[in-house]
Amino acid sequence: MRLLQAQRLHDTVCRCYENVKFYRDKLDELGVKPNDITSVDDLRKLPFTYKQDLRDTYPYGLFAVPREQLVRVQASSGTTGKMTVVGYTAKDIDDWAVDAARAITAAGGTKSDFIHVSYGYGLFTGGLGLHYGAEKLGAVVIPVSSGNTKRQIDILRDFGSNILCCTPSYAMYIAEAIQEMGLSPGDISLKAGMFGAEPWSNEMRLQIERMLGIKAYDIYGLSEIMGPGVSFECSEQTGMHINEDKFIPEIINPDTGEVLPLGEQGELVFTCITKEALPLLRYRTRDIATLSRDKCSCGRTLIKMSKPCGRTDDMLIIRGINVFPSQIESVLLELNLAAPNYQLVIERQGNLDTLEVQVEMTPEMFSDSVRFIEKTEKKMKSALLSTLGLAAEVKLVEPKAIPRSEGKAKRIVDNRKI
Ligand code: DLL
């Protein structure tokens, strides 16, 4: 693997140097020549690439092939600023399909499964990514796309879907809707789900598994690097194998850029070593994770990354306490007192930040006494304080009060004007 990575890395750096002005200028500035990059350890000599670099060269400035060789562009919306546009050659699309097919296989998918894709189709990479993966595997793809939950459930039941692909928050939404329709897991043929595109906790995994009667697998990716399938979970469900024959991962200290040893937590950085259209070098994902080479019971030897536990840029700092929304989710769900739908509302009063955690009640709780509800709020509040050291108000809200999402859930409402 190291030899293959070294060869591919060298080839990629040569192509970047020849075809992308941005990288040629950067390497010249650092005094690095493509021939200086002969081993994986030489990665450290290369410059980082940031999302801002894609924005500054919008839309196609970092592409390494002429237009005739492109066969597709996709984009990620981003909450601020311009979209990030990414592109693929025919070979890139084929490589991506193989990576997504590996992910489906690791989740137990076979040629004879119906793969129900409820990730959005369009510029977002979720839908088309899993779609091509399912076809590459030779499975039967059901390209439902997101939205229209009643129709999703009709299709799940009538078409005999075996693997559901969507965001974990939409999986919860579908699971709730199934219950409301008076159906049970026995009425559908699902065996697994492939959920990703947003952070989710292990507790949420257990809830989804219980409600849908399936195994819930994590799948990770980002458009800049490729899309879904950069890494994927296997039967062991303890982290995601990275397709490291195509993407070399590093973990760095986000403040200093220093490369950290295996096992330490930091920012995940990827270098693409097979991409033709958009081969990014040392791309700063902003996702926080760890890497591990521990032996995996599934037999795969590909390096594993942990579930991303947040991003360097969505980390909340509430009165000096650093906290990730996913940690708050874990604390809430561990108590097993309410539905896993929540929203974090941050305000600034004077110079002080306040956090209100709004958590949805289950319909049963809603009919409980006010005293019971207040007691539950108190319990949650003290759990957040004792586990995370976080002083937050907890407010239980009516079932369905928190807006549902068919794509990525909006967990944070930040009303601070900083
Ligand atoms: O979300 C690609 C994708 C689609 C992955 C479908 C998995 C399934 P972007 O829209 O570019 O691409 O967003 C990428 O989403 O940097 C992470 O912060 C987050 N993310 C993606 N997968 C996971 C995951 C797609 N499994 C950004 N767990 C990434 C946590 C995830 N966060």
How do residues 64-89 score in pLDDT, each as one tens digit?
A: 999 999 999 999 865 445 788 999 99
Decide: 196 in ligand 1 pocket, CB within 6 A: yes
Q: What mean pLDDT do residues 255-274 have? A: 97
- Percent of the chain at pLDDT > 70 equals 97
Query: Does 310 or 88 have the greater pLDDT score?
Result: 88
Decide: 218 in ligand 1 pocket, CB within 6 A: yes
The answer to which of 155-164, 170-179, 213-222, 360-369 has the lowest mean pLDDT is 360-369
Q: Give all strands of the β-sheet with 114-117 in edge-to-edge order.
A: 140-142, 114-117, 163-166, 192-196, 215-222, 227-233, 240-242, 304-305, 291-292
Decide: 227 in ligand 1 pocket, CB within 6 A: yes
CA of 203 to the centre of ligand 1 (A): 19
CA atoms within 13 A on the CB side of 100: 32
Rounded to whole angstroms, the Cα distance separating 283 from 275 reads: 13
CA of 275 to the centre of ligand 1 (A): 19
| Exposure string over 75-98, b if 16+ CB within 10 A, otherwise e | bbeeeeeebbbbbbbeebbebbbb
Provide the residue type at 74 as one letter: Q
Rounded to whole angstroms, the Cα distance separating 363 from 395 reads: 16
Are the C-beta atoms of 239 and 208 separated by less than 8 Å? no
Question: What pLDDT score does 417 carry?
Answer: 64
C-beta neighbour count of 407 within 10 angstroms: 19
Hey, whose CA ends up nearest to atom 28 of ligand 1? 199
Are the C-beta atoms of 269 and 250 separated by less than 8 Å? yes
CA of 294 to the centre of ligand 1 (A): 24
Question: What pLDDT score does 418 carry?
Answer: 54
CA of 221 to the centre of ligand 1 (A): 5
Q: Kindly report the pTM of this predicted structure.
A: 0.87
Rounded to whole angstroms, the Cα distance separating 56 from 249 reads: 24
Instruction: Give the burial class of 256: count Cβ atoms within 10 A of its Cβ; 0-12 exposed, 13-18 middle, 19 or more buried.
Output: exposed
User: 115, 287, 330, 406: which to mutate for ligand 1, most atoms within 8 A of CB?
Assistant: 287
CA atoms within 13 A on the CB side of 241: 23
CA of 90 to the centre of ligand 1 (A): 23
Rounded to whole angstroms, the Cα distance separating 282 from 50 reads: 9
Q: At residue 222, does pLDDT exceed 60?
A: yes
Transcribe 257-284 into DSSP letters. -PBPPTT--EEEEEEESS-SS---SSEE
Q: At residue 347, does pLDDT exceed 70?
A: yes
Rounded to whole angstroms, the Cα distance separating 38 from 54 reads: 26
CA of 124 to the centre of ligand 1 (A): 10
Rounded to whole angstroms, the Cα distance separating 257 from 47 reads: 10
Q: At residue 142, does pLDDT exceed 70?
A: yes
For the CA of 124, the closest atom of ligand 1 is 10
Which of 127, 128, 131 lies closest to 118, judged by CA? 127
Banded pLDDT at 218 (limits 50, 70, 90): very high
C-beta neighbour count of 151 within 10 angstroms: 10
Decide: 232 in ligand 1 pocket, CB within 6 A: no
Hey, whose CA ends up nearest to atom 10 of ligand 1? 76
Are the C-beta atoms of 383 and 333 separated by less than 8 Å? no
Cα-to-chain-centroid distance, residue 91: 24
CA of 135 to the centre of ligand 1 (A): 21
Cα-to-chain-centroid distance, residue 131: 17
Q: What mean pLDDT do residues 319-341 have? A: 83
As a whole number, the mean pLDDT across the chain is 93
Q: What mean pLDDT do residues 195-220 have? A: 94
Question: What pLDDT score does 79 carry?
Answer: 43
Decide: 193 in ligand 1 pocket, CB within 6 A: no
State how beta strands 283-289 and 291-292 pair. unpaired
Query: Does 322 or 250 have the greater pLDDT score?
Result: 250
The answer to which of 249-253, 336-340, 342-346 has the lowest mean pLDDT is 336-340
Residue written as tokens 């097919």? 101
For the CA of 227, the closest atom of ligand 1 is 2
Helix/strand number for the chain, H first, E second: 11, 20
What's the sign of the alpha-carbon dihedral 6, 10, 15, 16?
A: positive
User: Per residue in 28-63, pLDDT tens?
Assistant: 999 999 999 999 999 999 999 999 999 899 999 999
CA of 197 to the centre of ligand 1 (A): 3
To 10 degrees, the CA torsion angle through 90, 198, 173, 362? Answer: 170
Decide: 100 in ligand 1 pocket, CB within 6 A: no
Farthest CA pair distance, the chain: 72
CA of 14 to the centre of ligand 1 (A): 29
Question: What pLDDT score does 80 carry?
Answer: 44
Decide: 222 in ligand 1 pocket, CB within 6 A: yes
Question: What pLDDT score does 117 carry?
Answer: 98
Decide: 34 in ligand 1 pocket, CB within 6 A: no
Instruction: Give the burial class of 112: count Cβ atoms within 10 A of its Cβ; 0-12 exposed, 13-18 middle, 19 or more buried.
Output: exposed
